[in-house]
Amino acid sequence: MKEKRIKKIIIVGGGTAGYMAAAALTKVLSKQNCEVKLIESEQIGTVGVGEATIPQIQLYNKLLGLDEDDFVRRTKATFKLAIQFKDWDKIGHSYYHAFGDVGKDMEGVQFYHYWLKMRQLGKAGDIDDYTLTSTACNQQKFMRSIDAGNSPLSNIAYAFHFDAGLYAIYLRELAEKSGLIRLEGKVIETQLNEQGFVQSVQLENGDIHAADFFIDCSGFRGLLIEQALKTGYDDWTHWLPCDSAVTVPCESAGEPWPFTRSTAQKAGWQWRIPLQHRIGNGHVYSSKFMSDEEAKQILLDNLDGKPLGEPRIIRFTTGKRKKFWNKNVLALGLSAGFMEPLESTSIHLVQAALSKLFTFFPTLSFDQVDIDEYNRQSSFEWERIRDFLIVHYHTTKRDDSPFWDYCRTMDIPPELQQKIAQFKKNGRVARIDSEMFNELSWFEVMYGQGLHPESYHALVDNFPEDLLERRLESIRNVMINSVDYMPTHQEFINQHCKSE
């Protein structure tokens, strides 16, 4: 067995994906006597965006043993409790996709079903009133969980907004401390062996670097997975029609919000990601429906502060590689595919891929059964996230532009049709196996998008209405009192993790 161990790994690319892989691999393989090398080209640079995350990133941070305050300080990060979707269902309407619990489940039935019944009867407030993180967002409050028994303060779900460039530097330092060999240079050629496996890569200066296993983190170009191995790409543009983004940071405007804002525009949407030192902004749009000039103007017209630099355009094709792992090459990050940043899932997909890689970590025999299973699980994960993104577009009521007309009337995947039909009927969400977004996320987004179920879970009627009314009132009060107890987001940062 020992002779079959992987002894050399090369990561091509030093963006977020490359350094996430490098930090995790050097940590996990530290006792395996396995060399991990990363090759990056400063001349080519990184995509330089990707600043909003979801709570699962805490698992990755735990694996690395990060000190969270240090990480927040070094990456000039802020905390994120939700995404606010503005003008998505119709202009003038907004809702939160908030992290964590909604209300309190009773008798095995999720809280939102009780809320649906009482809302239909006109006896319940807005869903935000029963959700700790949404209430905190409305008041710009934040804190981490404390030991508070049954209180929602014991279980506060959060993620981060951080500076992508600083994040890569931070991870690079960690990885180098754990033994990463980093090389600067441009890969200009890839050599394959007789079985079609990648044997080595050649740099512009003529040096050749060989390895047993390669991780392609070269971004959209997919240097190894596509250019060398011709793996193929599933194009999802017909479901996720945005193919461009124009981005520009701007000066901060007041205290940072503890949430990302996504505002729907005429042919796409605009993000607003508050950091400690600036706000990250971008306008994601479909070039079929809008010119670059118009997209740029919309972005600049909707900034909260003075732009810091010139707007930059990034092109992409939504979709994924036909195989994420092909022979001895694993694609990570943008080289694996891209589904657009609407729900901040790309960095999570890097982390999820690394976790699966550790589960199916290969030997030199590269067992095809493991590779096939890795690809099956990854495709499932991507397709379910894809459907979650599509639902935001497809369920809109907007009819003010050809883009929204297209989205509203486009065909959607059958699994999503089924999910929407079931939700409309009785509010149930059938989470497919262990798909990443849970029932609450689907509920918040579908309801927020204006899909209001005809009915609710049958067991809700076990409770008399007056009892439900009292329970809802008590939950609402618990949320008010809990959020009263929380410091403001800015106060929390000042106290624990303010950057220089």
Instruction: Name the residues that contact ligand FAD, by CB under 6 A.
Output: 12-18, 39-41, 44-47, 49-53, 164, 186-187, 217-219, 221, 223, 245, 282, 314, 316, 333-335, 341, 344, 346-347
Using DSSP, state whether 172 is helix, strand or coil. helix
User: What is the rounded distance in angstroms from the CA atom of residue 215 to the CA atom of residue 180?
Assistant: 14
Sign of torsion over alpha carbons 490, 88, 132, 442:
negative
For residue 370, CA distances in Å to 64, 82, 325, 327, 375 come to 25, 36, 10, 11, 9
- For the CB of residue 170, give the shortest distance to ligand FAD in the complex, in Å: 14
Based on CB atoms, which residue is closest to ligand FAD, 37 or 221?
221
- For the CB of residue 334, give the shortest distance to ligand FAD in the complex, in Å: 4
- For the CB of residue 499, give the shortest distance to ligand FAD in the complex, in Å: 19
User: What is the rounded distance in angstroms from the CA atom of residue 175 to the CA atom of residue 64?
Assistant: 10
Residue 175 burial (C-beta neighbours within 10 Å; 0-12, 13-18, 19+): buried
Using DSSP, state whether 136 is helix, strand or coil. helix
Residue 317 burial (C-beta neighbours within 10 Å; 0-12, 13-18, 19+): middle
Q: What is the DSSP letter of 276?
A: S
Phi first, then psi: give them for residue 263, nearest 5 degrees.
Answer: -110, 120
Instruction: Name the one residue in this structure whose structure tokens are 């396995």.
Output: 34
- For the CB of residue 271, give the shortest distance to ligand FAD in the complex, in Å: 7
Phi first, then psi: give them for residue 181, nearest 5 degrees.
Answer: -100, 120
User: What is the rounded distance in angstroms from the CA atom of residue 34 to the CA atom of residue 47?
Assistant: 29
Based on CB atoms, which residue is closest to ligand FAD, 4 or 315?
315
- For the CB of residue 128, give the shortest distance to ligand FAD in the complex, in Å: 23
Based on CB atoms, which residue is closest to ligand FAD, 131 or 244?
244
User: What is the rounded distance in angstroms from the CA atom of residue 439 to the CA atom of residue 421?
Assistant: 15
Based on CB atoms, which residue is closest to ligand FAD, 49 or 329?
49
User: What is the rounded distance in angstroms from the CA atom of residue 219 to the CA atom of residue 407?
Assistant: 28
> Which residue intervals of 202-322 are DSSP H helices?
292-301
- For the CB of residue 124, give the shortest distance to ligand FAD in the complex, in Å: 33
User: What is the rounded distance in angstroms from the CA atom of residue 111 to the CA atom of residue 352?
Assistant: 29
Based on CB atoms, which residue is closest to ligand FAD, 79 or 316?
316
Residues 6+ away with beta carbon under 8 Å from 386:
236, 239, 240, 339, 413
Based on CB atoms, which residue is closest to ligand FAD, 137 or 353?
353
User: What is the rounded distance in angstroms from the CA atom of residue 132 to the CA atom of residue 19?
Assistant: 34
Based on CB atoms, which residue is closest to ligand FAD, 266 or 283?
283
Q: Which conformational region is residue 185 in: left (phi greater than 0), alpha (psi within -120 to 50 degrees), or beta?
A: left
User: What is the rounded distance in angstroms from the CA atom of residue 300 to the CA atom of residue 294?
Assistant: 10
Based on CB atoms, which residue is closest to ligand FAD, 101 or 216?
216
- For the CB of residue 351, give the shortest distance to ligand FAD in the complex, in Å: 9
Contact 132, 101 (CB under 8 A): yes
In this structure, what token pair is assigned to residue 228?
């060398």
Based on CB atoms, which residue is closest to ligand FAD, 274 or 333?
333
Based on CB atoms, which residue is closest to ligand FAD, 100 or 341?
341
Based on CB atoms, which residue is closest to ligand FAD, 102 or 187?
187
- For the CB of residue 340, give the shortest distance to ligand FAD in the complex, in Å: 7
Residue 68 burial (C-beta neighbours within 10 Å; 0-12, 13-18, 19+): middle
Instruction: Name the one residue in this structure whose structure tokens are 């439900």.
Output: 468
- For the CB of residue 45, give the shortest distance to ligand FAD in the complex, in Å: 6
In this structure, what token pair is assigned to residue 474?
């008590």
Based on CB atoms, which residue is closest to ligand FAD, 106 or 183?
183
Question: Residue 19: which of 184, 203, 167 has the closest Cα?
Answer: 167
- For the CB of residue 155, give the shortest distance to ligand FAD in the complex, in Å: 23
User: What is the rounded distance in angstroms from the CA atom of residue 419 to the CA atom of residue 392?
Assistant: 13
- For the CB of residue 18, give the shortest distance to ligand FAD in the complex, in Å: 5
Based on CB atoms, which residue is closest to ligand FAD, 127 or 385?
385
- For the CB of residue 477, give the shortest distance to ligand FAD in the complex, in Å: 35
Phi first, then psi: give them for residue 431, nearest 5 degrees.
Answer: -70, 125
- For the CB of residue 245, give the shortest distance to ligand FAD in the complex, in Å: 4
